[in-house]
Amino acid sequence: MATQAHCLSYAGCNFLRQRLVLSTLSGRPVKIRKIRARDDNPGLRDFEASFIRLLDKITNGSRIEINQTGTTLYYQPGLLYGGSVEHDCNVLRSIGYYLESLLCLAPFMKHPLRIVLRGVTNDQVDPSVDVLKATALPLLKQFGIDGESFELKVVRRGMPPGGGGEVLFSCPVRKVLRPVQLTDPGKIRRIRGIAYSVRVSPQMANRVVDSARSILNKFIPDIYIYTDHMKGVNSGKSPGFGLSLVAETTNGTFLSAELASNPQGQGAAVLPEDLGRNCAKLLLEEIYRGGCVDSTNQSLALLLMTLGQQDVSKVLLGPLSPYTIEFLRHLKSFFQIMFKIETKPCGEELKGGDKVLMTCVGIGFSNLSKTLK
């Protein structure tokens, strides 16, 4: 950058990904101090260092300085370059941790991104690859990011603590994003899901499906849950099973919920019947919260609205998660953008929880690094 943009300063390890992603998109350097300074084991964790290495791989000319103890990080972003990349993610967090940020950055690369991520595909902390594929990809399509090279594919599954999964993500680049008006979520039309099992009996997945259906069949007949049992080298290094459910509405909105079994050697064993029932209840809770974007993708939707053309975008969300609220504060710091927030109390026709209508005018972000063909 020819002119040194004003450096933003933060303290603490929270919301590290948000700050680095927004720094990369806005081109403003960021300094983060006191990262777990009072902890017995101070500084950046291995999974955060792995995330910083991933950012370094997909950008060109980034400057990253970390002090001796790892408690201070200075990040001066370079240009988003893209291309073909491979990255071994840390097994302490799932691939979803890294993929969430890649979904924010991928449309603004110089070359279309094609990345192979290795590590844990499904865990109990981050959104799994299955859920991101079913909810985040259709959301990106609403903003005009689409094409035959737009895919997210699970090549191998990997459960914690061993990992061993592999995911392929490719995304086309876009010059500008189109504004959206997502104000009517519609009614639930069908429910789809994937029950996966690796290195356990294939019967586990079937038991999960039966128990989930026992609850969901009371509400809607169109339910189809696929069973995915991967064998041999495709099953990763650790045993486990889980379920991800996605409800699709009449207006093309996707709401999701998921659960995974406890990692080997940690906590009590989970019964497949309990897991299926609990996951179905989580999906019903997500449907109660409602909105046009589910709670895992709220911040992605708000970011894409911010970066849209200089036109009004509106989206109806369920109750804002604490992560989203902090993300709005960061958007204000990095892009000087404020959303108009209107609460829509739950009326008779809007069954479910209270909704929030978010309105903003895009900053007219243009992908300057995109190569001209």
Residue 369 is predicted with a pLDDT of 73
- Residues 102 and 95: their CA atoms lie apart, in Å, by 10
Does any domain span residue 360? no
SS3 labels along 179-198: CCEECCCCCEEEEEEEEEEE
Residue 348: what pLDDT? 60
CATH of the domain at 252: 3.30.360.20
Q: Is the dihedral angle over the CA atoms 364, 138, 296, 217 positive or is it negative?
A: positive
In this structure, the number of other CB atoms found within 10 A of the CB of residue 1 comes to 12
- What pLDDT score was predicted for residue 193? 98
| Tens-digit pLDDT profile for residues 338-366 | 999 999 887 666 578 889 999 999 999 98
pLDDT recorded at residue 352: 81
According to the model, what pLDDT value does residue 3 have?
A: 47
| Residue numbers of the chain with a pLDDT score lower than 70 | 1-5, 347-350, 370-373
Domain contains 194:
yes
- Indicate which CATH number applies to the domain containing 5: 3.30.110
Q: Which residues pair with 192 in a beta bridge?
A: 224, 246
Residue 85 lies in a domain: no
Helix residue ranges per DSSP H, the chain: 16-26, 46-58, 95-105, 129-142, 203-216, 272-289, 298-306, 322-335
For 33, 240, 242, 300, 365, the CA distances from 331, given in Å and listed in that order, are: 20, 38, 34, 12, 13
Per-residue pLDDT at 150: 96
In a domain, 95, yes or no: no
Q: 228 lies in a domain?
A: yes
- Location of structure tokens 């103890």: 69
**Closest Cα partner for 132 from 176, 101, 157, 91?**
101
Measure Cα distances from 34 to 15, 18, 148, 171, 307 in Å.
13, 17, 44, 35, 30
Q: Please state the separation of Cα 146 from the chain's center in Å.
A: 18
Instruction: Report the length, in residues, of the chain.
Output: 373
202 in any annotated domain:
yes
How many domains does the chain divide into?
2
Please choose, from the candidates 74, 65, 13, the residue with its C-alpha nearest in 3D space to the C-alpha of residue 44: 13
So what's the pLDDT on residue 91?
96
29 within a domain of the structure (yes/no)? yes
Which residue range is the domain that position 56 belongs to?
A: 1-80
**317-345 tens-digit pLDDT:** 999 999 999 999 999 999 999 999 999 88
- Beta-carbon contacts of 297 under 8 Å, excluding residues fewer than 6 positions away, are 135, 136, 139
Residues 6+ positions from 360 with CB-CB distance below 8 Å? 302, 305, 306, 312, 313, 337, 338, 339, 340
Is residue 121 a part of any domain in this protein? no
Side chain identity at residue 191, one-letter code: I
Question: Quick one: pLDDT at residue 347?
Answer: 67
Report the alpha-carbon distance of residue 77 to residue 75 in Å, rounded.
Answer: 6
As a whole number of angstroms, the distance between CA 77 and CA 101 comes to 15
Check residue 280 and give left, alpha or beta (phi > 0: left; psi -120 to 50: alpha): alpha
Choose one of 289, 311, 344: the last residue of a domain: 289
> By three-state DSSP, how is residue 171 classified?
strand
- Residue with the two structure tokens 């069908």: 190
Rounded to the nearest 10°, the torsion over CA 202, 203, 207, 210 is 90
* Residue ending a domain, choose from 65, 80, 95: 80
Q: Pick the last residue of a domain from 20, 48, 80.
A: 80
